[in-house]
């Protein structure tokens, strides 16, 4: 079944001393891929509220000083139909403390990775976020992705 309305996703590159926080995803969307914290915007939330909530729910970290990183437009083709996401992405510096595995059903664990030595495979949205961080390009045009 194909959802005919785009969903809004949110991702956050949490940085610490030039390293980025990534976790290997579990579950149907992005299984086995390394990704930044993120998820769906809830009704009535601001972008900042969503970013802060998602990072806190997934890692236990309370982030601040968010900066808009990029906006992406993605269609994921899956066995159960296509899903269209508009993704709004942020970057921030990590607060003190280390990330915790708050949702083990969604992630295998969190670790800091050097931008020049990233784990593979990277989830396409996270890959585009890192490309935006490096290039300064903030708009990712429509991408169609098979089975991620």
pLDDT digits (tens, 9 = 90+) for 58-85: 999 999 999 999 999 998 887 878 889 9
Better-predicted residue by pLDDT, 30 or 55: 55
Start-to-end Cα distance in the chain: 17
Residue 29 pLDDT: 72
pLDDT bin (cut points 50, 70, 90) of residue 92 is: very high
Write down the residue that tokens 């083990």 correspond to: 104
pLDDT bin (cut points 50, 70, 90) of residue 88 is: very high
Determine the Cα–Cα distance for residues 71 and 87; give it in Å rounded to an integer: 6
The domains of the chain, with CATH numbers, are 7-146 (3.90.79.10)
- 131 in Cβ contact with 36 (< 8 Å): no
| Cα radius of gyration (the chain) | 14
Determine the Cα–Cα distance for residues 63 and 112; give it in Å rounded to an integer: 16
- Rounded to two decimals, the pTM is 0.91
Percent of the chain with pLDDT over 90: 78
How many CB atoms are located within 10 Å of the residue 142 CB? 9
């Amino acid at each position: 079944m194909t959802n005919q309305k785009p969903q809004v996703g949110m991702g956050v590159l949490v940085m610490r001393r030039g390293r980025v926080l990534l976790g290997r995803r579990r579950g149907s969307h992005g299984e086995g891929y390394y990704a930044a914290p993120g998820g769906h915007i809830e009704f009535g939330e601001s972008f900042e509220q969503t970013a802060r909530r998602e990072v806190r729910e997934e890692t236990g970290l309370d982030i601040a000083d968010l900066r808009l990183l990029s906006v992406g437009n993605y269609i994921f083709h899956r066995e159960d139909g296509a899903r269209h996401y508009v993704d709004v992405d942020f970057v921030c510096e990590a607060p003190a403390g280390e990330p915790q595995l708050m949702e083990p059903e969604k992630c295998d664990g969190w670790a800091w990775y050097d931008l020049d030595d990233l784990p593979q495979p990277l989830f396409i949205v996270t890959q585009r976020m890192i490309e935006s961080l490096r290039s300064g390009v903030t708009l990712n045009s429509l991408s169609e992705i098979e089975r991620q």
